[in-house]
Structure 1
Amino acid sequence: MRVGLTGGIASGKSTVSAIFAELGAVIIDGDQLAREVVERGTPGLAAVVEAFGPELLTPEGDLDRPAMGAIVFNDEARRKQLEAIVHPLVFERYAELEAATGPDDVVIHDIPLLAESGRADEFDEVVVVDAPEELQVRRMLEDRGWTEADARSRIGSQARREDRLAIASYVVDNTGSMEDLRARVVEIYEGLTAPAS
């Protein structure tokens, strides 16, 4: 069972992913892979430096992620240029990791930009973690210390909420308590693992 998991920034997708992992799902985390493919010494990092310049490296030779983010989140052409380098490398790693799973595993692909990628139909089911924009903004201000302008800019660079909901087989409404959230994820996991009738 291949499941796509997505949600807007600060929707609570990482928390939902962690609950799925506790329940026994195999998690393949797109954010983690996106970091992995541009680690120091990788062909991915070399390609990013070639495209964007050596000033995006820290003194230690790692990708300066905040500096990269400042460039790509306000410039769609540059963002697409970065995605053209990173996405194929990430998808290659996804395939390798998925090939190592068992036939009965529920494999959750945690993909922040699933709606944007147009790949939702590659999954048996899609779980969308949903929260209203004002709640996302409040979480970024309180939990991440961002400015409201930065928060709204990041939300604006992602798919619209309606576009994410349109690809959902299951929606996790993350406006309630942690108990509510866990109960909904358990309910979905039971649905995913129930034998087909």
Structure 2
Amino acid sequence: MSVIIGLTGGIAMGKSTISNFLKKKGIKVVDADQIAHAVLNFSNVVSDIADTFGKIFLNPDGTVDRKRLGKIVFSDPDKLKRLNAIVQPQIRAEISKKIATLSSEKMVILDAPVLFEQGYEKSVDYVMVVATDEKTQISRLMQRDNLSKSDAKKRIEAQIPIEEKMKKATVVIDTSGTIEATQQQVVKWLVNKKLLQNPGEFGEVK
């Protein structure tokens, strides 16, 4: 049976950097965001979104216009709730299927931005929260997703405050420094938990 580690944090706080680092180490990562994107292409989900929000939120090819839909749901908590009612049960089912296929692995990372919002912390053994300061977070999000400062703040405010997530964490990883410093924190914790071996130089793990 795998040890499941929930990896989460505030949006644009460096979670993907850690996730990609762990993947390169050969650790299996279940990416909830990738699954969420895939779910948006499910025919029943597309149909429900069109019925709930209108066909104007579909592209000419019939796929969901994610950017346009995101703009309205992150500006209106009620609309976000309605969207989650459509997609989250499907996402949860797909995550469960994926984790089940990895049961022979020593550990599996569940990379989930909304780990706490959707109650996934109840299904994992440890919770790793990545965090940085708000100014850095807003700057990263604006640059990453080509958002205005106002839209970036709306997306941040749609999530549980990072301070609350940190209180619920097994371990908090500070991503305000260099990538190398961030990676070292992750490795040190995993080695201490005997989930990784560290045979030589710090970061040389297997």
Q: TM-score, normalised by structure 2?
A: 0.88
Deviations 1:57-104 (A, max 9, x none): 111111101110111001111101100110100010011111111334
Deviations 1:134-173 (A, max 9, x none): 1101212344432211111111111111111022111110
SS at match of 2:117: helix
SS at match of 1:117: coil
Q: Structure 1 residues 81-90 or 49-58, which shifts more?
A: 49-58
Shift of 1:192: 5.4
Partner of 1:186: 187
* In structure 1, distance between residues paired with 2:40 and 2:28: 23
Partner of 2:136: 135
* 1:122 partner letter: S
Which segments of 5 or more consecutive residues in structure 2 lack a partner in the other structure?
Answer: 198-206
Q: How is 1:21-170 mapped onto 2 (pairs within 5 angstroms)?
A: 21-39=23-41, 42-170=43-171
* In structure 1, distance between residues paired with 2:105 and 2:59: 43
Cα RMSD after superposing both structures = 1.6
SS at match of 1:176: coil
2:22 paired residue among 20, 23, 26: 20
Which segments of 5 or more consecutive residues in structure 1 lack a partner in the other structure?
Answer: none
The aligned length equals 194
* 2:140 partner letter: R
